[in-house]
Chain A
Amino acid sequence: MIPSVTVNWAAVEPILPELLLVGIGVLLIGLDLFAPRQRQVLPWLTVVGCLAALAMIVGSHSSTAFGGMFLADGFAVFFKSLCLAGVILTTLMSEHFRRIITMQQGEYYSLLVFSAVGMLMMASAGDLMVLYLGLELMALPVYALVGLHKKEKRTGEAAIKYFLMGGFASALLLFGMSLLYGLTGTTDIARIGELINTLHLTDNPALLAALALLLAGFCFKVAVAPFHLWTPDVYEGAPTVVTAFMSVGPKAAGFAIFGRVLFFGLPQLHDHWGPVLAVLALLTMAVGNITALCQHSLKRMLAYSAIAHAGYGLLGLLAGTAEGMAATMSYLGIYLFMNMGAFAILMLLATPDQPHESLEDCKGLAARSPLAAALMLIFLFSLTGIPPTAGFVGKFYLLKAALSAGYPLTVIGAVLFSAISAYFYLRVVRLMYMTEPQESQALTFSPGMVAVLGICLLGVIGLGVFPGSLLDWATGALSVM
Chain B
Amino acid sequence: MSIPLLSTLIFFPVLGGLSLLAVPRQQTGTIRLMALLISLIELVLCLPVALLFDKTTYLMQFQEHHSWIKALNINYALGIDGISILFLLLTGLIIVLSILVSWESITTKVQEFFVALLLLEGMMMGVFCATDFFLFYIFWEAMLIPMFLIIGVWGGPNRIYATVKFFLYTLVGSLLMLVGIILLYLKGGQTFDILKLAGQAYPFKLQLLLFWAFFAAFAVKVPMWPVHTWLPDAHTEAPAAGSVILAGVLIKMGAYGFLRFSLPILPDATRQMLLPLLILSVIAIVYGAIICLAQTDLKRLVAYSSVSHMGFVTLGMFALNQHGLEGGILQMINHGVVTGALFLAIGMIYERTHTREIAAYGGLATTMPVFAGFFLLFTLAAVGLPGTNGFIGEFLILLGSFERLPWAAAVAATGLILGAWYMLWLYQRIFFNGVKETMQGLTELNLREILTLAPMVLLIFWIGLYPNASLSFLHVSVSHLVDQVHGLGLAGPVIPVQP
B402 at the interface (CB under 8 A from A): no
Cβ-defined partner of A416 (8 Å) among B69, B134, B137, B175: B175
Q: Is the CB of A422 within 8 A of B171?
A: yes
Contact pattern, B 166-181, Cβ under 8 Å of A = 1, otherwise 0: 0110011001101100
Among residues of A, the one whose C-beta sits closest to the C-beta of B123 is A388
Q: Is the CB of A434 within 8 A of B175?
A: no
Q: Is the CB of A403 within 8 A of B183?
A: yes
Tell me, rounded to whole Å, the shortest Cβ–Cβ distance linking B299 to chain A.
19
Cβ-defined partner of A433 (8 Å) among B25, B153, B175, B186: B153
Q: What are the 3 tightest A-B residue pairs by CB atom distance, in nearest-first order?
A: A415-B175, A387-B138, A468-B69
Tell me, rounded to whole Å, the shortest Cβ–Cβ distance linking A481 to chain B.
17
Tell me, rounded to whole Å, the shortest Cβ–Cβ distance linking A212 to chain B.
30
CA distance A468 to B69 in the complex (A): 5
Using A386-B141, A386-B145, A471-B71 as known contacts, say yes or no to A430 and B152 having CB atoms under 8 A apart.
Answer: yes
Q: A386-B142, A399-B178, A418-B175 are in contact. List 6 more A-B contacts (CB 8 A).
A: A366-B109, A386-B141, A412-B179, A419-B168, A468-B68, A472-B70
A440 at the interface (CB under 8 A from B): no
Q: Is the CB of A416 within 8 A of B172?
A: yes
CA distance A468 to B68 in the complex (A): 7
A66 at the interface (CB under 8 A from B): no
- Chain A contacts to B: CB under 8 angstroms: 366, 370, 377, 381, 386-388, 392, 396, 399-400, 403-404, 408, 411-412, 415-416, 418-419, 422-423, 426, 429-430, 433-434, 467-468, 471-472, 475
B287 at the interface (CB under 8 A from A): no
Q: Is the CB of B142 within 8 A of A400?
A: no
CA distance A398 to B159 in the complex (A): 34
Q: Is the CB of A411 within 8 A of B179?
A: yes
For residue B71, which residues in chain A have a CB less than 8 angstroms away from its CB? Answer: 468, 471-472, 475
Among residues of A, the one whose C-beta sits closest to the C-beta of B175 is A415
Tell me, rounded to whole Å, the shortest Cβ–Cβ distance linking B131 to chain A.
17
For residue A396, which residues in chain B have a CB less than 8 angstroms away from its CB? Answer: 134, 178, 182
Q: Is the CB of B137 within 8 A of A387?
A: yes
CA distance A412 to B144 in the complex (A): 21
B148 at the interface (CB under 8 A from A): yes
B459 at the interface (CB under 8 A from A): no
Tell me, rounded to whole Å, the shortest Cβ–Cβ distance linking B133 to chain A.
12
Write 24 A-B pairs (CB below 8 A) sorted by A numbering. A366-B112, A386-B141, A386-B142, A386-B145, A387-B142, A388-B138, A388-B142, A392-B138, A396-B134, A396-B178, A403-B182, A408-B179, A412-B179, A415-B178, A416-B175, A419-B175, A423-B164, A430-B164, A433-B153, A434-B160, A467-B69, A468-B68, A468-B70, A472-B70
For residue A419, which residues in chain B have a CB less than 8 angstroms away from its CB? Answer: 168, 171-172, 175
Q: How many interface contacts (CB-CB < 8 Å) are there between A and B?
A: 85
Q: Is the CB of B160 within 8 A of A430?
A: yes
CA distance A469 to B167 in the complex (A): 31
B320 at the interface (CB under 8 A from A): no
CA distance A245 to B309 in the complex (A): 53
CA distance A415 to B179 in the complex (A): 8
CA distance A377 to B171 in the complex (A): 17
Q: Is the CB of A426 within 8 A of B167?
A: yes
Among residues of B, the one whose C-beta sits closest to the C-beta of A402 is B182
B185 at the interface (CB under 8 A from A): yes
Residues 147-206 of B contacting A (Cβ, < 8 Å) = 148-149, 152-153, 159-160, 164, 167-168, 171-172, 175-176, 178-179, 182-183, 185-186
CA distance A429 to B69 in the complex (A): 30
Cβ-defined partner of A387 (8 Å) among B109, B141, B159, B179: B141
For residue B171, which residues in chain A have a CB less than 8 angstroms away from its CB? Answer: 386, 419, 422
Cβ-defined partner of A400 (8 Å) among B70, B138, B141, B182: B182
CA distance A411 to B149 in the complex (A): 29
Using A404-B186, A412-B179, A423-B164 as known contacts, say yes or no to A433 and B149 having CB atoms under 8 A apart.
Answer: yes
CA distance A415 to B168 in the complex (A): 12
Tell me, rounded to whole Å, the shortest Cβ–Cβ distance linking B220 to chain A.
12
For residue B138, which residues in chain A have a CB less than 8 angstroms away from its CB? Answer: 387-388, 392
Q: Is the CB of A433 within 8 A of B152?
A: yes
Among residues of B, the one whose C-beta sits closest to the C-beta of A476 is B71
Tell me, rounded to whole Å, the shortest Cβ–Cβ distance linking B372 to chain A.
35
Q: Is the CB of B179 within 8 A of A434?
A: no
Tell me, rounded to whole Å, the shortest Cβ–Cβ distance linking B263 to chain A.
24
For residue A429, which residues in chain B have a CB less than 8 angstroms away from its CB? Answer: 148-149, 152
CA distance A433 to B109 in the complex (A): 10
Tell me, rounded to whole Å, the shortest Cβ–Cβ distance linking A217 to chain B.
32
CA distance A403 to B182 in the complex (A): 8
Using A399-B178, A418-B175 as known contacts, say yes or no to A423 and B168 having CB atoms under 8 A apart.
Answer: yes
CA distance A411 to B181 in the complex (A): 13
Tell me, rounded to whole Å, the shortest Cβ–Cβ distance linking B22 to chain A.
13
For residue A408, which residues in chain B have a CB less than 8 angstroms away from its CB? Answer: 179, 183
For residue A366, which residues in chain B have a CB less than 8 angstroms away from its CB? Answer: 109, 112
Q: Is the CB of A434 within 8 A of B68?
A: no
CA distance A433 to B186 in the complex (A): 40
CA distance A392 to B71 in the complex (A): 17
Tell me, rounded to whole Å, the shortest Cβ–Cβ distance linking B270 to chain A.
22
CA distance A434 to B164 in the complex (A): 12
Q: Is the CB of A399 within 8 A of B172?
A: no
For residue B69, which residues in chain A have a CB less than 8 angstroms away from its CB? Answer: 467-468, 471
Cβ-defined partner of A403 (8 Å) among B148, B160, B179: B179
For residue A472, which residues in chain B have a CB less than 8 angstroms away from its CB? Answer: 70-71
Tell me, rounded to whole Å, the shortest Cβ–Cβ distance linking A412 to chain B.
6
CA distance A400 to B73 in the complex (A): 13
CA distance A418 to B182 in the complex (A): 16
CA distance A430 to B167 in the complex (A): 12
Tell me, rounded to whole Å, the shortest Cβ–Cβ distance linking B219 to chain A.
16
Tell me, rounded to whole Å, the shortest Cβ–Cβ distance linking B253 to chain A.
15
Tell me, rounded to whole Å, the shortest Cβ–Cβ distance linking B14 to chain A.
10
Q: Is the CB of A400 within 8 A of B152?
A: no
For residue A471, which residues in chain B have a CB less than 8 angstroms away from its CB? Answer: 69, 71-72
Residue of A377, A388, A412 ringed by the most chain B CB atoms within 10 A: A388
Tell me, rounded to whole Å, the shortest Cβ–Cβ distance linking A370 to chain B.
7
Using A400-B185, A403-B183 as known contacts, say yes or no to A434 and B152 having CB atoms under 8 A apart.
Answer: yes
